[in-house]
Structure 1
Amino acid sequence: MMVVTAARSGRIPLDTEGSTPTQLLAGRLANPYIFPLLACLAVGYFDWRRAMNNRERNHAFYQSQRWQHKRAVVMRKYNYEDQEAKRYGRVVQATMIHHIYPLAQYPMLALQTWNLLPLSAASHNKMHDRLTDEVTGAGLYWQEKRRHEFVKFFSEKN
């Protein structure tokens, strides 16, 4: 048995003896803290240096005064309501802001109000795959909905 340190709960025993990468990816290892990391390692595309650089860069951005102000403006604009849940007629409190067009691919849209969407943690997790960080169907819906602003933004820049 090996022990893995998790950020929230300290030390979590993790028995992986006899587990194959396929079993890990199939979800037979039901540890929510370590499963995404093991899945990345099992498929062989996880780059630690790039992940750390992105994390440090993103941390600096999300701690900036400009982001904090923009976040507050967007939350007030939408009355602190999760916009994905509202789409289905439910009222859920938003706890975070989602970049409709991802920050990593479109840093120039980082502070554009039309590119920001208040969501709950559950709705935010539905917007993109947490292993590959690719936009999912729900995220694509919002990209299509905001395509007009996206096209207008880039046509004005040329």
Structure 2
Amino acid sequence: MSEYKTEAQKKKFYRSGDWESLRQQALDRDNHECQQCKREGEVHVDSKKVEGVRKTIELNVHHKYEIEDYPQLALVLDNLTTLCLNCHNKIHGRVFGEQKRKRWDDEMW
């Protein structure tokens, strides 16, 4: 079983044919829609490829159990879900363009 602790190991995995194939299966299974938006009653679908124009990235395939902690689940379809970039960033605690809300609104003394 492989390890995915370093950036180099992760890059190698995410560029592999095995990952690309499984990623496509997850996108197809999820109808190229963000599953979190869908649960919230919204629709966020993948962008369409236009000839001669670079396709924008709208969706990520997310590991529910991260590969560095659960390498045995790295290529398990049931461990994958399709998310839009916004939902994927929220899950990983990456918030851009807006400040994270403070846990408490109390004044600091």
Q: TM-score, normalised by structure 1?
A: 0.47
Residue aligning to 2:14: 62
Q: Distance in 2 between matches of 1:93 and 1:72?
A: 14
1:121 paired residue among 85, 98, 108 = 85
Q: How many residues align?
A: 78
Whichever of the two has the greater Rg, that structure is 1
| Unaligned stretches of 5+ residues in structure 1 | 1-52, 131-158
**Which structure 2 residues correspond to residues 7-18 of structure 1 after superposition, within 5 A?**
none
CA deviations on 1:76-117 (whole Å, 9 max, x unpaired) are: 001100000000010102511110011110010001111101
User: What percentage of aligned pairs have identical amino acids?
Assistant: 36
Letter in 2 for 1:122: N
Per the alignment, in what secondary structure is the counterpart of residue 101 of structure 1?
A: coil
**Which structure 2 residues correspond to residues 103-114 of structure 1 after superposition, within 5 A?**
103-114=67-78
1:77 paired residue among 23, 29, 40 = 29
Letter in 2 for 1:85: C
Residue aligning to 1:139: none
**Greater RCO between the two (CA within 8 Å, min separation 6)?**
2
**Which structure 2 residues correspond to residues 7-156 of structure 1 after superposition, within 5 A?**
54-94=6-46, 95-130=59-94
Q: Distance in 2 between matches of 1:128 and 1:91?
A: 21
Q: Which has the higher helix share?
A: 1
Per the alignment, in what secondary structure is the counterpart of residue 92 of structure 1?
A: coil
4+ residue segments displaced more than 3 Å? none
Residue aligning to 1:23: none
RMSD value over aligned CA atoms? 1.3
